[in-house]
Structure 1
Amino acid sequence: MSLESVRAWLAVHAPDIAIIDQGESTATVADAARTLGVEPGQIAKTLSVRINDAVVLVVARGDARIDNRKTKAAFGGRPRMLGAEEVQALTGHPVGGVCPFGLATAIPVYCDISLRDFAEVYPAAGSTTSSVRLTPARLADLVGARWVDVCQPPAVADAAAEAAE
């Protein structure tokens, strides 16, 4: 149903955008980048986050990480990732296929400025094997997203991950 909700949403709002179904997993950033033949940063991952009592979607480049300090400054609270069941219930999409299109409930969408590093990005399209290709500006315009700066740059995210190991 999730892929179908995205297909129906795109038919109304952006009929020129084709769904790419590779028939292979695009559920992780690494899988999506390999399957689509692009660099990991071009994967536009959609994060389902609770901040205080509000749920928001943050779309960011695939190799960026949420920065707690920046998120608290932008939204007034520390981000907490939602569990898979809550994500499915609120978005209508399975984890690995979450995108800001064809949502089951109205959820505010924010695009991190990290997406602007690329001419084209590839968000999921409601399933673990599907995606779409579009510009970051078009993505934000289509879903009425506000631009925010809530992620660590990839080099900082990589250094933080290495330090944690």
Structure 2
Amino acid sequence: MSTSDMTPTTTSSDAHPRFAEALRELGLDVGVRRFPDATRTAAEAAAAIGCELSQIVKSLIFEADGAPVLVLMDGSSRVDVERVRAELGAGKVKRAGADLVREATGYAIGGVPPFGHRTKSRVLADRGLLDHAVVWAAAGTPHTVFPLDPKSLIAHAGGTLVDVRERIA
């Protein structure tokens, strides 16, 4: 899919209603883009947008000692669960199942935005997101994304900057 296949908007009307409300509450006016096909993976989103894979923000929910934790990671990297565990001082950390993701955030996997969640959780943002002037994140559905500078995105998410990406061997 080329960038001409996108339908950019200048309002948040294409975003999930909960996320659109979060944008309004934060006073953010971002161009939410809707795609005809789902962009559930970072690679699909990058191809649809026409950006680098590392410019995609993955909003991943983990379960740390039973509590949901949001990890914001660039699309070309993987989360090192042991580094997350150490950062949180948790006994056990694992990827959250689909039910916990929906319960904690109000969104389905593949469309979880970096903020505007149903419940407030701890947020860890990998430092690698700062490598770009603009990053793209889900706007609450697998069909929608929005651009924002990474410092603003992390601030609105209430994220703590950390190094939790897997190290390349």
TM-score interval (norm. to shorter): 0.7 to 0.9
Counterpart among 27, 30, 37 of residue 17 in structure 1: 30
- Counterpart in 2 of 1:111? 125
Pick aligned residue for 1:83 from 97, 108, 111: 97
Distance 1:14 1:96 in 2: 25
Q: Distance in 2 between matches of 1:4 and 1:136?
A: 23
Give the distance between the partners of 2:27 and 2:65, measured in 1 at CA.
33
41-50 vs 138-147, greater mean Cα deviation:
138-147
Task: Report the AA paired with residue 30 of structure 2.
Answer: I
Matched, 1:92 2:106: yes
Of 16-25 and 122-131, deviating more is 16-25
State the alpha-carbon separation in 2 of the partners of residues 104 and 69 from structure 1.
27
Q: 2:47 aligns with which of 24, 34, 50?
A: 34
With normalisation by structure 2, the TM-score equals 0.84
**Structure 2 residue matching 1:60: 3-state secondary structure:** strand
Quick check: which one's helix share is greater?
1
Does the CA-based 8 Å contact 1:61-1:114 persist in structure 2?
yes
User: What runs of 5+ residues in structure 1 fail to find an aligned partner?
Assistant: 160-165
Per the TM alignment, residue 141 of structure 1 is displaced from its structure 2 partner at its CA by 1.3
Deviations 1:125-149 (A, max 9, x none): 1000101101110101112211111
Q: Which residue is 1:141 aligned to?
A: 155
Percent identical pairs in the alignment equals: 33
Q: Per-residue deviation at 1:20?
A: 1.4
Secondary structure of 2:47's aligned partner: helix
SS of 1:132 mapped into structure 2 = strand
Q: Which residue of 1 aligns with 2:116?
A: 102
Question: Partner residue of 2:8?
Answer: none
Give yes or no for contact 2:57–2:135 (8 Å, CA) kept in 1: yes
Q: Give the SS at the match of 1:25.
A: coil
Aligned Cα RMSD in Å? 1.6
Q: Give deviations 1:15-67, integer Å, cap 9, x for gaps.
A: 32121112221111111011111111111001100112321101010111111
Q: Secondary structure at the match of 2:147?
A: coil
- Segments of structure 2 that go 5 or more residues without pairing to the other structure are 1-14
Identify which of structures 1 and 2 has the higher relative contact order when contacts are C-alpha pairs closer than 8 Å and 6+ apart.
1
Distance 2:164 2:67 in 1: 16
**Equivalent position amino acid for 1:12 in 2:** E
What is the CA–CA distance in structure 2 between the aligned matches of 1:95 and 1:68, rounded to whole Å?
A: 18
* 1:4 CA drift (Å): 0.6
Measured against aligned partners, the alpha-carbon deviations of 1:105-159 in whole angstroms (never above 9, x if no partner) come to: 1112221111111111111010001011011101011122111111125xx1xx6
The residue correspondences of 1:112-131 to structure 2 (distance < 5 A) are 112-131=126-145
- Cross-structure match for 1:162: none
